[in-house]
Amino acid sequence: MTNWKRPENVPFPSIWRTFERKDSAGITRKYWVQDLTPEYEDIFVDNSIKVFLKDEPICKYSNFVEDPQAVQEFADLWRYAFSHKLGIICLTEDESGKIEFVGGNMTTISENGETSDSEGKSETYRKGLSVIIYVSKKRDIFSELNINEYLTAFGLYVLPKFRGQGIGTEILRARRELCLAVGIKTSATVFTSIISQKNAKQAGFKEFVEIDYDNLEKINPIWNFPGMTSFTKSIKNMYIQYS
């Protein structure tokens, strides 16, 4: 857990990135990535449960959504991260002027020396989170990059109707403006899906650690995810530094 607080001189909410895309009907839409604000907290968490937990490989191949306790514990983790005022969401406006929620990323801070807690009442939750913690600590990013903190995240997703337009990459690119505004020079995240890994690479992230899913089970027998490698070969910790 971290005691980090967003600097008071950084306006909240702020818009960090804007871009345009054509929708399925060929109509150009404007999109923007902004801070996750209280009025969108429940929307973000609800869609994280309905979309992210069903699609993200570790959750999907451990039947996460069938464990109510695991779902609740992940929701609690997202809400805790929300308290740091670093989460970001993507919104758009349709031709009638209605604002639609597109997706988001629960970005938060990781500080050197803080303890990582993979404890939980649910075995499913502990299994999933312990993998992420293991990969994130496989190499000491703090000493190797000479940093004391970095922006990380729990869950990147785009709603199905908006997929295939590179929006996930744009959400990741928005981290640059957010980080520079709050005084963070590095962002690093464990990406579990081949899709999010491609998004990260397109956004400029570099590989720091890569472990094949088949090898994870050799490291710890509980880290078995039957069917995983038919979708994604490996799990990667990736990073980017800003200046």
pLDDT of residue 22: 86
Can you list the pairs that 96-103 forms with residues at least 24 positions away whose Cβ atoms lie under 8 Å? 101/40, 101/43, 101/44, 101/47, 101/159, 102/31, 102/158, 102/159, 102/162, 102/167, 103/47, 103/156, 103/157, 103/158, 103/159, 103/162, 103/167, 103/168, 103/171
CATH no. of 15-241: 3.40.630.30
Please state the domain extents for the chain.
15-241
Write out pLDDT tens, residues 191-206. Answer: 999 999 999 999 999 9
Write out pLDDT tens, residues 78-133. Answer: 998 888 999 999 999 988 889 999 999 999 999 998 766 666 789 999 999 999 99
Does the pLDDT at position 4 exceed 90?
no
Proportion of the chain above pLDDT 90, given as a percent: 84
Write out pLDDT tens, residues 158-170. Answer: 999 999 999 999 9
CA distances from 63 to 129, 196, 232 (A): 14, 20, 16
Q: Which residue has the higher pLDDT, 1 or 205?
A: 205
- Alpha-carbon distance of 203 to 124, in angstroms, equals 31
pLDDT confidence bin for 177, thresholds 50/70/90: very high
Proportion of the chain above pLDDT 70, given as a percent: 97
Does the pTM of the predicted model rise above 0.85? yes
- Alpha-carbon distance of 238 to 206, in angstroms, equals 5
Does the pLDDT at position 224 exceed 80?
yes
pLDDT confidence bin for 26, thresholds 50/70/90: confident
pLDDT of residue 41: 96
Write out pLDDT tens, residues 118-158. Answer: 667 899 999 999 999 999 999 999 999 999 999 999 889 99
